[in-house]
Structure formats: C-alpha cells, structure tokens
Amino acid sequence: MPALDSKGNRPLQMTFEEHLRALVYFHLEEHHSAQHLLQVLEEDDFAKSAIAPENGIKKSSFSEATNSRGLEQFMYVYQNLQAQASSILPKQHPELGDLVGIDGSLIDATLSMHWADYRKKSKKAKVHVGFDLNRAIPRKLYLTDGNGAERPFVSLILSDGQTGVMDRGYQSHQRFDQWQNDGKLFMCRIKASTKKTIIKQNPIASDSIVFFRCHRCSGHHGSQSNTNPTSFGGLRGGSR
C-alpha cells in the first residue's frame, strides 16, 4: 500500500490504518456525526482501546485527515477488496455475460469543499459507478464535482468483453457511434420520442417479453443521429 506521509513539518496524528478503523466503526455504529464518533472514541472503553489512536485524536486533526489526505490509500484498499470479492462471489446469471450497470449519483458536500461545484449555495460531488450486476458489487468508481458529465465515463468503466447497462440519461447518438468504434458493448434505454429508421427487422416469438426487435437500425433524437447501425429492442416488464 502507498505510504501515507505528512505534508508538512507536523507529524501525523493518526496512521491510515487508524483512520480506516475509525471510519469503519463510524458506519457500523451509525454515529450521527464526526463529533459523535470522536466523543465515543474518547469515552467508550472498547472504542478507546481498539479503535482510537493510542494518544487519542482531536477534532481538528481528524477533520484534516478526513478532508485532505488518504485518497490514494483508500483507493488502494477498495481496488484490492473489489478484486478479492470478484474472485470469490459467484455470478448469478453467467449465461448473460459480464453485465456492468453504469450510473452517476450525487453526494451532498459541505460548502468548504470548493471543488464540488453544483449550484449557488449548494455543493455536491458526483460518483460515477460501474456496478457488477452478476455479483452485486461495485466494480469501478470515479469522483467529480456535482456538474460532472456522466457519459464520458462509460469508456473508462467498461473493459473488453463487458456490456454496459445504462438508463436514458446516457442516450447520445454520437456517443453510440464512438462506443461502437471503440469496440464497447452496451445496452441503453432510450426516450420514447426517439425516431428509428428500420433497416432490418427480426422476427420475434409470440410468447416473448420482446415485442420489437430490429438488428440494424439508425435512430435520432432532436438534432442528434447515429451513423453506425444499432440494434433496438422493446421489452415488456410487469404490467407495462
């Protein structure tokens, strides 16, 4: 694991391992705030002996550690845990191949997180996640400010042989062309108003949940259109 070094003359008040233990304990015990966690680390016998640094930790030092360092080490831990989990957990539907759900989610941020631009008087970060649908665990993640575009991360998240599964927010016919040219496999729900030009329509079984299927179609939405022929399909789900 990359070493965690002090950025100045002041020595570190807690190691990365101590920081990690404190944050895991925070989530397991569902503390209300960092102040609540620090109070428990100071007053609870178990937390004081097994979780807190030997000499304790002050609020300013804990806040500095949480807000300004440790990202490289946390990513190292995440990547190794993810690799271990992927090698242990079985695929629920191996016949479907490697399906990766792709989506972006907003995370509330404090006003002091100046990089997390979103709206005036509101700070949010955005996490872009590639989720292994067959094993039900995250595969890759990227962090941007709240206004960060989501579509560019599809190419970063998908590896060879994986199929991305995305909602309508990722519909972009120029991106469809780019992803196909890059050899990416993907399924994307599209808006109902998308106009489709059918080049070749495939037959479907009468009892199938699929009610529409064309192997080679071109589509456009508004001023956007794709050059490469793309497969389109319609599925019934529940009462719809």
Digit-coded pLDDT (tens) for 152-195:
999 999 999 999 999 999 998 889 999 999 999 999 998 888 87
pLDDT computed for residue 10 by the predictor? 76
Same-domain status, 152 and 166:
yes
For 109-137, what is the mean pLDDT? Answer: 85
> pTM for this structure?
0.78
Query: 85 in a domain, yes or no?
Result: no
Same-domain status, 95 and 169:
yes
* Pairing verdict, β 98-109 and 224-225: unpaired
Percent of the chain whose predicted confidence (pLDDT) is above 90:
49
Same-domain status, 103 and 139:
yes
Q: Whole domain around residue 201: which residue ranges?
A: 191-240
Same-domain status, 184 and 103:
yes
Same-domain status, 59 and 140:
no
Query: 79 in a domain, yes or no?
Result: no
d(C-alpha 152, C-alpha 231), whole Å: 21
E strands, 60-109, are 98-109
Same-domain status, 98 and 133:
yes
Return the CATH number at 137: 3.30.420.10
Query: 5 in a domain, yes or no?
Result: no
Q: How many CA atoms lie within 13 A of 176 on its CB side?
A: 25
Same-domain status, 175 and 235:
no
Q: How many domains does the chain have?
A: 3
> What single letter denotes the amino acid at residue 29?
E
Query: 116 in a domain, yes or no?
Result: yes
Same-domain status, 182 and 103:
yes
d(C-alpha 24, C-alpha 18), whole Å: 10
d(C-alpha 190, C-alpha 172), whole Å: 9
Query: 106 in a domain, yes or no?
Result: yes
